[in-house]
Amino acid sequence: MSDHDPITQALAEDIGDGDLTSAHFVDADAQATATIIAKEDAVVAGAEVAAEVFRRVDSQLKVQIVCNDGVEVKKGDVVISVAGSARSILTGERVALNFIQQLSGVATLTRRFVQETEGTKAKILDTRKTTPGLRQLEKAAVVAGGGTNHRIGLYDMVMVKDNHLAMNGVNTTKAAADLQDRINRFKTEHPDIRIELEADTLQQAAAFLALNGVDVILLDNMSLGSLCEAVKLRGDKPVLLEASGGVSLKTVHAIAATGVDFISAGALTHSAVAVDFSLELIRTESNQIHEKH
């Protein structure tokens, strides 16, 4: 990883010029074993990230991942164990916990959304509403929870939203022809990149369904009735439909039951509550560390 990756930045932010507390109040030769324990039921995500934090702090630490990402754990389950220098373990403790708590929160919430849509064909998508600098990690946590990644950024998929359309006068016949021309030219230059158009009304969705080269239509903030109607309008056209807006754990099942292919929810990343984990540390003799690992 580069010097600007999230782990490097998080450690630099926390340690700065050094861990003053551990350096002055923990014996330099003190050895310990530590376990990161779930304090509540959850879906694990970020286990490898947390393990890497300890490795970055001290390559001599012996780190074992007990529960991999995507595993459901119960309160009291051990997720990671660490053995070696007590100072090093204490230095990495908070950053490791911060990562696994935040990412497991995303995975746990995603799993709940996925469970609510069981029995339907709808897949749960994330969005770009992620914590700056943590997008890749949070999107990996969505996958750990059973969700599906939408575009990673502005560079890997076209998403033509209402603000884009407004710049071209989308409500005119000429603008519709212009949009088709732009789609054609884009597909010629980038045949493998998907194009998604955002529709605010059924009328707009119908107009987009008449275009060629559209891969996905986003049905934004539509009622359940309108979503059902959009699915009927789609018929057997090879265009996927994504519902967005007003998505919560209370509404997602009804939205999925309309027959849409995807449901995107910014809440997966911007509203996930961190899962409670703790690190328990026990001082040991150095020969015990060596024998166990």
Choice among 128, 129, 182, 187 that is catalytic: 129
- On the question of pLDDT at 263 being above 80, the answer is yes
Mean pLDDT of the chain: 94
Band of residue 290 on the pLDDT scale cut at 50, 70, 90: very low
Q: Is 198 a catalytic residue?
A: yes
Domains 6-109+273-292 and 114-270 share a fold: no
Q: Is 56 a catalytic residue?
A: no
Q: Is 187 a catalytic residue?
A: no
Band of residue 173 on the pLDDT scale cut at 50, 70, 90: low
Q: Is 129 a catalytic residue?
A: yes
pLDDT for 166: 77
pLDDT digits (tens, 9 = 90+) for 133-162: 999 999 999 999 999 999 999 999 999 998
Q: Is 161 a catalytic residue?
A: yes
- On the question of pLDDT at 1 being above 50, the answer is no
Does domain 114-270 sit in CATH 3.20.20.70? yes
Q: If you average pLDDT over residues 2-19, what whole number do you get? A: 91
pLDDT digits (tens, 9 = 90+) for 33-86: 999 999 999 999 999 999 999 999 999 999 999 999 999 999 999 999 999 999
Choice among 19, 52, 69, 220 that is catalytic: 220
* Domain parsing of the chain, residue ranges: 6-109+273-292, 114-270
pLDDT digits (tens, 9 = 90+) for 113-123: 999 999 999 99
pLDDT for 226: 98
In sequence order, which residues have a C-beta less than 8 Å from that of residue 293 and are 6 or more positions away?
A: 62, 83
Spatial distance between the Cα atoms of 141 and 243, rounded to a whole number of angstroms: 21
Choice among 55, 62, 94, 128 that is catalytic: 94
What is the CATH architecture assignment of 6-109+273-292? Alpha-Beta Complex (3.90)
pLDDT for 184: 97
pTM of the predicted protein model: 0.93
Choice among 198, 234, 242, 261 that is catalytic: 198
